[in-house]
Amino acid sequence: EVIYKLMEDIADNVFNANPLLQQGGDMSRITGASYSIKISAPSGKRISDFKIGGKPIDMKKTYRVSSWGGNLQNVGENLDEKAIRPVYEVVSDYIRRQKVIDIPLESNVKILDMDCGCPVKGATCT
């Protein structure tokens, strides 16, 4: 439930109808998560079809996520502050262990009410 509320809060920071309340930036990217967003929807109603690992989010379940920048580490409870590491260390360690990384070509975010001009898998340029 916390991560869903966080994504709604971030969406409000970026897309608030009142320009004085827009805090800039962009939507957080969370590996393994996908969601749809309706930018014109009211605050708290923008995010839908939120999935983690391809499965609908379970609001009662605890998830471990990684994100770049911001204060995402403060969303949940950190039981051991010594365990907090810079994301570049976490990612580089992961790459070293995996040797080969499969990067999906499709976006994990579907914008429902606006054409962002983002390329999609199979698209051709003319």
pLDDT digits (tens, 9 = 90+) for 102-121: 776 677 888 888 776 665 55
Q: How confident is the model over 89-101, as a mean pLDDT? A: 88
C-alpha neighbours within 13 Å on the C-beta side of residue 45: 3
Could you count the other beta carbons within 10 Å of the beta carbon of residue 30? 20
Judged against a pLDDT cut of 90, whether residue 6 lies above it is answered with no
Write out the two tokens for 84.
Answer: 């907090």
The conformation of residue 107, written as its DSSP 8-state character, comes to -
pLDDT in tens, 23-79: 876 676 677 788 998 988 998 999 999 998 889 999 888 877 665 555 554 555 555
For the whole prediction, is pTM greater than 0.85?
no
Report d(CA 65, CA 68) in Å as an integer. Answer: 10
Report d(CA 116, CA 119) in Å as an integer. Answer: 9
> Which domains, ranges and CATH numbers included, belong to the chain?
2-111 (3.90.780.10)
Report d(CA 20, CA 44) in Å as an integer. Answer: 18
3-state secondary structure of 34: strand
